[in-house]
Amino acid sequence: MENEFQKDELENSLRRAFVDKKAKIIIVDGQTLRSRFLRESISLGLEKGLISQGEPIDEDEILGKGAGQYYALTYELTKRGREYFGII
């Protein structure tokens, strides 16, 4: 299959975000989810229990129903993920 990503490449993208860049959460919106690499990185992190889905961000909740145009998902490291990446 074309554009197959190696698991270590996918895992390294999570390491770059959470360890190297010290991100507390990553925010993924519809535009970002067009990236197959990012989708697969998130899927791998969820499957391995390294990350969990946090609270969604819905602009409608801030601006009122029908006024928002933005919806995004958040992901954060789990305890297992922090241990795996050597953060704790």
Q: With pLDDT > 70 as the criterion, what percentage of the chain qualifies?
A: 91
Pairing of strands 51-53, 25-29: unpaired
* pTM, full prediction: 0.83
Task: Identify the pLDDT of residue 33.
Answer: 67
Q: What is the pLDDT of residues 29-49, one digit of tens each?
A: 877 767 899 999 999 999 999
Boundaries of every domain in the chain: 7-84
C-alpha 74: how far from chain center: 6
